[in-house]
Amino acid sequence: MCGARFIVDSMCGKLARWLRILGCDTLYVDPTKDDSDILEIVKERILVTSDRALARRAANSGIRVLLVPEDLGEALSIVSGAAGVRLRIDPRDTRCPFCNSPLVVVSREGLPDGVPREVIRSHTRFLLCPGCGKVFWFGTHYWNMLRFLAGVKKIRRPGPLTGGPVMRGDGNDL
């Protein structure tokens, strides 16, 4: 179970999808919103952003923020180390990368229409999103994700967040 809840800046869309896959409740900020709107809705969440100016403003407002580099692997490593996110995909505790709803494990009988027949034939377990109706299965894409996570684990990670707003990121001060 991912104990951390995030709100991810629109610059880091791939990172937001990954945090959901890892089971974290993650909001993805509408790119049309300006920065003050983001700070308004951040509430109890940790703000994750690559935007130095936004990170500085958030920290000044007492919001916990993680400043991450644009590289996806490094960003994921930083968030994992700072907020205690486990770098593993648990099918019973994962969220829809597109809408953030917790996914449910279903068998062939629980599938909605539209799943390709060859996929149904070659798999027995699927993940269904009750929010948007999307279906996921453990195919090539899944194995590629596990390979990516194995690479992220090899990146040296910073320690956990300790009280108050803490900046993490590419080593530069804000």
Interacting residue ranges for Zn ion, rule: CB under 5 A: 96, 98-99, 101, 129, 131-132
DSSP E strands in the chain: the ranges are 5-8, 25-28, 46-49, 65-67, 104-106, 126-128, 135-137
Nearer to Zn ion, 10 or 101 (CB): 101
Tokens of 99: 């809408």
Dihedral sign for Cα 79, 84, 86, 91, please: negative
Nearer to Zn ion, 21 or 63 (CB): 21
Shortest distance in whole angstroms from residue 96 CB to Zn ion: 3
Shortest distance in whole angstroms from residue 95 CB to Zn ion: 8
Tokens of 41: 């809705």
Shortest distance in whole angstroms from residue 94 CB to Zn ion: 11
Tokens of 94: 């994962």
Nearer to Zn ion, 84 or 130 (CB): 130
State the residue for tokens 């993650």.
Answer: 26
DSSP state, 91? T
Nearer to Zn ion, 28 or 82 (CB): 28
Shortest distance in whole angstroms from residue 149 CB to Zn ion: 21
